[in-house]
């Protein structure tokens, strides 16, 4: 009888192990395709970090970045690159960009936040997912490299030329995404190329933008640098990046 009980207990543990392994989905990068255009979402493991004017930001930190404070974020996916012109065209059937690219691998720009929300709604209808814009806490966590952060000044390096297109190397024009070095998580252009919309602030007529652009000096491209923009404004230097919650997958 004792042997039977032991065997029964072992069988239960084995079955539990099999069921658990079947239920658990590996948290890895995800690839999507829309009308022939592929894009990747990078898996970002959640955690706690110091947001804002950390020592690595130096004397360039502004008052709206102070004081540095601890923030905790959950797991999420974030776009490997800014949304490109080809992905926008695949979803919307047009290209509003002021610096269009025949290859389509430049960031889409000259879009208002309302335009972006229309795009995201259509993308969600096509894919059955729930893409959205990042909250600032998520954006900065990803830019800093998530759990791999070493408090670099820019997203992936203290040498801005390695990771960013900005006013000293861009000729005031956007460039192909992923043509500079990625950060610690394999995410490109979180410093420079185009500013990136985040979710709305408490004022629904204003949205926060992060990352700096081809028209900005280096101090604007720091990982903690934050500015805001009227939601109706369109500009050649403003685009966006997608977020996907882990709970939707």
Pairing of strands 226-230, 30-34: unpaired
Mean pLDDT of the chain: 90
* Local confidence band at 202 (pLDDT 50, 70, 90 cut-offs): low
pLDDT in tens, 51-71: 999 999 999 999 999 999 999
16-41 average pLDDT score:
76
Extents of the domains making up the chain: 32-248
User: Coil, strand or helix: which one is 137?
Assistant: helix
CATH class of 32-248: alpha beta
Residue-level pLDDT at 5: 53
Residue-level pLDDT at 4: 47
DSSP-assigned beta bridge partners for residue 72: 48
Q: Measured between alpha carbons, how far is 29 from 223 in angstroms, rounded to an integer?
A: 22
Q: Measured between alpha carbons, how far is 182 from 190 in angstroms, rounded to an integer?
A: 9
* Local confidence band at 187 (pLDDT 50, 70, 90 cut-offs): very high
Q: What is the DSSP string of 139-191?
A: HHHHHTTGGG----SBTTBS-HHHH---TTTSTTS---TT-S---TTS---SS
| The residue count for the chain | 249
Q: Measured between alpha carbons, how far is 166 from 161 in angstroms, rounded to an integer?
A: 8
pLDDT in tens, 76-96: 999 999 999 999 999 999 999
219-240 average pLDDT score:
95
Residue 64 backbone dihedrals phi, psi, to 5 degrees? -75, 5
DSSP run (H or E) holding 38: strand 37-44
What is the percent of the chain with per-residue pLDDT over 90, rounded to a whole number?
80
Residue-level pLDDT at 199: 87
* Local confidence band at 246 (pLDDT 50, 70, 90 cut-offs): confident
């Amino acid at each position: 009888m004792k042997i039977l009980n032991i065997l029964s207990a072992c069988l239960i543990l084995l079955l539990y192990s099999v069921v658990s392994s079947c239920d658990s989905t590996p948290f890895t990068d995800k690839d999507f395709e829309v009308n022939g255009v592929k894009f990747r979402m990078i898996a970002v493991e959640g955690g706690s970090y110091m947001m804002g004017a950390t020592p690595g930001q130096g004397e360039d930190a502004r008052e709206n970045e102070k004081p540095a404070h601890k923030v905790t974020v959950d797991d999420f996916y974030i776009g490997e690159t800014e949304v490109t012109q080809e992905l926008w065209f695949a979803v919307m059937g047009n290209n509003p960009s002021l610096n269009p690219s025949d290859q389509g691998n430049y960031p889409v720009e000259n879009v208002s936040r309302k335009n972006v929300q229309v795009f995201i709604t259509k993308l969600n209808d096509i894919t059955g997912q729930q893409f959205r814009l990042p909250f600032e806490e998520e954006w900065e966590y990803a830019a800093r490299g998530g759990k791999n952060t070493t408090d670099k000044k820019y997203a992936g390096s203290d040498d801005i030329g390695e990771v960013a297109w900005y006013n000293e190397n861009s000729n005031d024009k956007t460039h192909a995404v992923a043509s500079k070095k990625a950060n610690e998580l394999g995410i490109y252009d979180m410093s420079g190329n185009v500013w990136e919309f985040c979710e709305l602030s408490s004022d629904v007529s204003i949205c926060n933008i992060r990352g700096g652009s081809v028209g900005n000096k280096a101090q604007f491209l720091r990982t903690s640098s934050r500015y805001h923009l009227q939601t109706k404004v369109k500009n050649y230097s403003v685009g966006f990046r997608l977020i996907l919650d882990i709970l939707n997958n």
